[in-house]
Structure 1
Amino acid sequence: MKRTLLILTITCFTFSVNAQDEAAQKNWMEYATPGSMQKMIAMSDGQWATDMTFWMAPGAPPSKGSGSCTNKMILGGRFQETKHTSSFAGQPFEGIGTMGYDNLKKVFQSSWVDNMSTGIMYMEGKWDDATRSVVFTGKCTNPASGKEMNVREVYKIIDDNTHLMEMYQMENGTEYKSMEMKMTRK
């Protein structure tokens, strides 16, 4: 009797582990498989001309610039890498961003690094069908104060060949627009 009970217990445990393994594998595959959101991101692959406007402080006069960026899906269509080049304040500017959609968390994620800082900016956001945009929020270091500050980015798809990115940051508790970049497909 004890041997039969032991075999039955081991068999039930094995079935339970196998069912958990199958569920875990299914969840992992759904998490790892590019879907409709990654396909939407991929629609902006290609070469883009950029026209930028910067505001260094609330109420400051704007400065203008232009450049280009290249967007390319990487890692089997899971993420999009963007490489920007331009000049800022007479200096060459390079930046690299990565954008993806987390299938599990149901959010867009974005990282940014450039040659004018040593920090990584990370943001998350959700798609808004009504405005055809993703509103990202996150934090980065303010080099002037040395403190962390809240940032917000609105990335809007105007049409297949025109996108608009607006960046906002906090200054003394007040949010202001610090950058606007219009991207036009080449």
Structure 2
Amino acid sequence: MKQFLSASLFVFIFLLGNTFAQNEEMNQDEQMKIWMDYMTPGPMHEMMAKHTGTWKMVSKMWMDPNAEPMVSEGTVDAEMILGGRYLKMVAKFPMMGMQTEGWSLEAYDNGKKEFINIWIDNMGTGVAISTGKYDEATKSIVYKGKMYDPLSQKDTEFKSVSKMINDNELTFEMYGNFDGKEVKMMEINYKK
């Protein structure tokens, strides 16, 4: 483990030094300011921090858009990690007769001005990755991403919308493609 951490630190220092060396037209103070701006949590991170705490969730999942949804209830524990830079959410809920656990890691990239979400769970071995922008008018983050579909044996695209109703209520909707049309696959309501 020490060797892995040492190697990781070496790679980070190498990349940082290499970046400084490639920007010869900027002095080191200018370069350091850019790095500091990039690494410092800002207003979007403060918005993510409002998600911290324990939430009760009610989810609806449609296997077929023409059928009744499967409904389940569970909990989500959310915390900001790494100095307020990332939001980690751990969800636990029953689904299709199994106790499901899923982890979400949400980031706001100051440089790209976009959100990044990574989702993993015990219902598969893959990773769903999506990116999105905050829409001030709807107070929502609209994500687009890809995840592996074991039935078709290829990546499938999805869209999700995360909306903070108030400090104690949050909604999440996920959409996928069904017979060439975008349909709602999942809806989750969170309450503190």
**Residue 71 of structure 1: how far off its partner (Å):** 0.6
**Residue 40 of structure 1: how far off its partner (Å):** 0.7
**Alignment pair present for 1:181 and 2:175:** no
CA distance in 2, matches of 1:104, 1:28: 10
- Determine which of 104, 126, 135 is the counterpart of 2:133: 126
CA distance in 2, matches of 1:149, 1:20: 45
Which amino acid counterpart does residue 123 of structure 1 have in structure 2? S
**Residue 183 of structure 1: how far off its partner (Å):** 0.2
For residue 92 of structure 1, what is the aligned residue in structure 2?
99
**Alignment pair present for 1:149 and 2:156:** yes
Runs of 4+ in 1 over 6 A off after TM superposition: none
For residue 73 of structure 2, what is the aligned residue in structure 1?
66
Larger radius of gyration between Structure 1 and Structure 2: 1
Secondary structure of the residue that 1:135 maps to in structure 2?
strand
Which amino acid counterpart does residue 58 of structure 1 have in structure 2? P
**Residue 61 of structure 1: how far off its partner (Å):** 2.0
CA distance in 2, matches of 1:97, 1:177: 20
- Determine which of 38, 41, 66 is the counterpart of 1:34: 41
TM-score (norm 2): 0.85
Count of aligned positions? 170
Secondary structure of the residue that 1:58 maps to in structure 2?
coil
- The share of aligned pairs that are identical, in percent, is 38
**Alignment pair present for 1:79 and 2:67:** no
Structure 2, unaligned runs of 5 or more: 1-22
Secondary structure of the residue that 1:71 maps to in structure 2?
strand
Secondary structure of the residue that 2:164 maps to in structure 1?
strand
**Residue 144 of structure 1: how far off its partner (Å):** 1.7
For residue 3 of structure 1, what is the aligned residue in structure 2?
none
**Alignment pair present for 1:47 and 2:41:** no
